Structure 1
Amino acid sequence: MNAAEESAILTQLRDERQREQGFGALVRVYGPLLHRHLLRMLQSSADVDDVLQNTLIKVYRHLDRFREESKLSTWLYRIATNEALAWLRSQQRRERRISSEDPALTAGRTLRADPFFDGDAAQLELQKALAALPDKQRAVFLLRYYDELPYAEISQITGTSEGALKASYHLAVKKIESKLKAYAQ
């Protein structure tokens, strides 16, 4: 999305008469990007829909808090990432009460049961390796690797310094490589 398109959406969102139309444009343009981001983080299409809906509700309710100090997409990713991390924390608390099973095994079973997952065995192993990462480290990896966001933007999304993000990304890559090497052997 270029700056002119973002500006047009923001203009509509700020005008009370065009707010609904602007929000519709925001959902059409950014909804698919946020959906992909959340799917990578949560690894379950059913959960993504709930978290995306919560994200969009928060965006709509708090549009007046967007100060344009960053790009609109950065603000949206931040809200989506925070919603996903909160959801993951609540899931982990619930799962700890139920089971002490390894999160990578749980992720593998969840992915195989998901009707939208059609990946092969290597993709399944990658998803299991991602699931084994700590939540925030996984978010950093996904934003950098898949969404190809610069560290400066990820820093705004996560509220973490660029140096810490680089270290976190490097550690995530090493952990994933290690898991995938073990799978290949």
Structure 2
Amino acid sequence: MNQDAVLVTRLKHPDTQNQAFRELVSVYQERLYWHIRRIVLTHQNADDVLQETFIKVFRNIDGFKGESKLYSWMYRIATNEALSFLKRNSKIQGISGEEIQQNQLANLRADPYFDGDQAEYELQQAIAELPEKQRLVFNMKYFQEMKYEEISEILETSVGGLKASYHLAVKKVERHLKQEGIETTKTKD
């Protein structure tokens, strides 16, 4: 039995649940935070969505059947929570998803946890302009260096479709950065 299976078993048992949950948070918190942060962009929003993600994981652990890896299941929840957060904000503010992304990007400069330079900001601008699926695939492949098979499991889509989405995203990001006068190196494939 692997570590995740043992952890899931402990999460499902009332006597070991609390300690197991602390371990789960300890192991996955940083990776999930950065995954969420790349979707919602600001620290405060990422922190809120991360908390909601762990609440949902805790409440739904009994529904985890082990048909996928634990982290894939959690990443799927984190992705859905982050996208739902953006959609809720879009609806509340009465603006489009693209406008929400642009607002989030504008808030990024004021975020005390953003320590990037102009090139990093322009990269985030280019990513924010991508369609949702391309943005997700780009972030997971480029920043988190996930394999297409892992991304496929999380996003529940074909590897071929992911490769096409990533390729298109890379071209759009490179074009944006070139227009801004920022040199790029060959992106990871």
TM-score by length of 1: 0.89
One of 43, 46, 49 as aligned partner of 1:45: 43
Q: State the 1:24 CA deviation.
A: 0.8
Higher mean Cα deviation, 83-92 or 160-169?
Answer: 83-92
Of 61, 64, 67, 2:62 maps to 64
Any gaps of 5 or more consecutive residues in structure 2? 183-189
Which residue is 1:176 aligned to? 173
Which residue does 1:139 correspond to in 2?
136
The 1:91–1:103 alpha-carbon spacing in structure 2 relative to 1, beyond 3 Å, is: closer
Distance 2:100 2:28 in 1: 30
Query: Tell me, which stretches of 5 or more residues in structure 1 are unaligned?
Result: none
The answer for the alignment partner of 2:18 in structure 1 is 20
**Structure 2 match to 1:106:** 103
| Contact 2:76/2:154 (8 A) holds in 1 | yes
Deviation at 1:99, TM superposition (A): 8.5
Q: Say if 2:36 and 2:79, in contact at 8 Å, map to a contact too.
A: yes
Q: How far is 1:15 from its partner?
A: 2.0
Specify whether residues 12 and 88 from structure 1 end up closer, same or farther in structure 2 by C-alpha distance, changes over 3 A only: same
DSSP-derived class of the 1:184 partner: coil
1:141–1:172 CA contact under 8 A, matched in 2: yes
Distance 1:104 1:23, change over 3 A: closer
Q: Contact (CA 8 Å) 2:40, 2:82: kept in 1 or not?
A: yes
Contact 1:9 1:26 in 2 (8 A): yes
Distance 1:77 1:100 in 2: 21
**Structure-2-length-normalised TM-score:** 0.88
Q: Which amino acid aligns with 2:154?
A: I
Structure 1 CA distance, aligned partners of 2:54 and 2:86? 18
Maintained 8 Å contact 2:53/2:81? yes
Residue 121 of structure 2 is matched in structure 1 by 124
| RMSD across aligned positions (CA) | 2.1
Contact 2:98–2:129, Cα closer than 8 Å, also in 1 = no
More displaced stretch, 81-90 vs 121-130 = 81-90
Give the equivalent residue in structure 1 for 2:150: 153
C-alpha distance in structure 1 between counterparts of 2:55 and 2:101, whole Å = 31
Find 1:75's aligned residue among 52, 73, 76: 73
- Tell me the SS of whatever aligns to 2:39: helix
What is the alpha-carbon distance in structure 1 between the residues aligned to residue 2 and residue 19 of structure 2? 17
SS in structure 2 opposite 1:156?
helix
Letter in 2 for 1:30: Y
User: Which residue matches 2:164?
Assistant: 167
- In structure 1, what residue type is equivalent to 2:157? T
